[in-house]
Structure 1
Amino acid sequence: MSGIKYRGQTLLALMLSLALSSFLLLVVLSFYGYIQRQNHDMLRKLQLQTELQRVLQTLGRDIRRAGFRSLSEGLIQNNLSLFELDETGTAITIGQSANSPLNSCVLFFYDVNGNGCIGANNKGKSCVANGKNSASEISTELFGYRLNDNMIESRQTYKSSISQTCKQEECRSYIQPEACNSSGWTDLLDDKTYRITALTFDRIEQGQGIQVYLAGQFVNYPHIQYETGIVIPLLNQGEWQ
């Protein structure tokens, strides 16, 4: 028994073993961190996609109604001709606000409450008196969306910014391209979280529809981007009527 010899690891072998183990551990941790980052990016992109699709669907529902007017029993004269931009009944226009890309703003109107006029019910049977609008609260049926300072905004027309007794020229001005620079707009998204990089409205099919393109990214994660689009038929305009 005394002749048996025992051999252990040398210091060099031990150091190599520890180095290899440390390297493998670093590889595993790095791969785990990569997977975690990928998962977080995937969740963030899903969040961005959900928000932009929600905004796009909101635009689609609203713009599709442009020019809608209801038939109201007992109404002798509506005020639609005061707001329509031409003899064909155009109720929507495309423009842009100052320092914004072309075709990044859309303005329109439609009869939300179904009273046959733009605005709230008038006391009488007409929404026009002496060539002027006589319906109240016309601001509630004037709409718009625009790109401004990397954010998509919705029009919030205030009573103080418009005349309730406007004549045709002034009534029409509320949905003409110049109104894209008016006051009363509010962000549709949190500008500290999202940045809208593109928003365009383009007429298609001889004006019978509008193609909307929307793109955005996260403010703190600009590499996470998403773009989408939609074609909106204008069912209350031109040949559709």
Structure 2
Amino acid sequence: MLQKESHQLLTYLQQHIQHLGYQGASRQQTNFRLFEQDNKRYAIDLNGQCFIFFYDLNDDGCLGKRATKHSSCINRQTNQTKDLAKEVFGIKLERKSLYIYDKNNLEHCSRQECRQLLNACREKWRRFTSEDDYWVERLHFTWLEEPKLLRIALKLTSKKQKLVSYEASGLVYILNH
């Protein structure tokens, strides 16, 4: 069971992380620059246990959803999109569980406020894994070649059989560097 869970978690993370930074072709009046820090669309915290990033999941050229197909995503350095949480992905290890970013609080943020997105690792996030069967002992993100190749290390331990654990790692090739 630990092996199956580990690989399912790694696959889920790989499927999203490989699209890190993707932006659709319709880039007029885009808002991506509002959210970037040092021209990056991702951040890993200092201990490597939290990774937050964004990409244009709906392919409209903006972070979040435009009000209409051709409306601007930005007006006077203020974000104009909705549903940001659908295109922002974050995962972190906290109290032996994985948590995911699920905030939607930056819909009308200014440039300074929007940039705080990539500093959100210390905020409260929603629990992603259940503590019923296992604990997450380790989650670690390491760039092997920034921003092209990322390694994810994961270790799960059984709650029922505390001496039983499983470690796995996976590589993510970033498609949009």
- TM-score tier, shorter chain, comes to over 0.9
Of 95, 100, 103 in structure 1, the residue corresponding to residue 45 of structure 2 is 95
Where in structure 2 are the equivalents of 1:134-213 lying within 5 Å? 134-157=80-103, 159=104, 162-176=105-119, 179-188=120-129, 190-213=130-153
Where do 4+ consecutive residues of structure 1 move more than 3 Å?
A: none
Separation in 1 of the partners of 2:101 and 2:161? 28
TM-score (norm 1): 0.69
In the alignment of these two chains, the number of paired residues is: 176
Secondary structure of 2:85's counterpart equals helix
Partner of 1:109: 54
Of 109, 115, 128 in structure 1, the residue corresponding to residue 74 of structure 2 is 128
TM-score (norm 2): 0.92
Structure 1: stretches of 5+ with no match in the other structure: 1-46, 97-101
Secondary structure of 1:70's counterpart equals coil
Cα deviation code 1:27-66 (max 9, x no counterpart): xxxxxxxxxxxxxxxxxxxx11001100010011111111
1:103, CA displacement in angstroms?
A: 0.8
Greater helix share, 1 or 2?
A: 1
1:229, CA displacement in angstroms?
A: 0.2
Q: 1:207 to 1:163 in 2, by over 3 A?
A: closer
Structure 1 position 62 matched with structure 2 position 7 = no
Structure 2: stretches of 5+ with no match in the other structure: none
Separation in 2 of the partners of 1:85 and 1:147? 23
Secondary structure of 2:121's counterpart equals helix
Structure 1 position 215 matched with structure 2 position 158 = no
Structure 1 position 235 matched with structure 2 position 170 = no
Tell me if structure 2 keeps the 8 A contact 1:142–1:175.
no
Partner of 1:82: 34
1:184, CA displacement in angstroms?
A: 2.9
Sequence identity of aligned pairs in percent? 26
Rg comparison, structure with higher value: 1
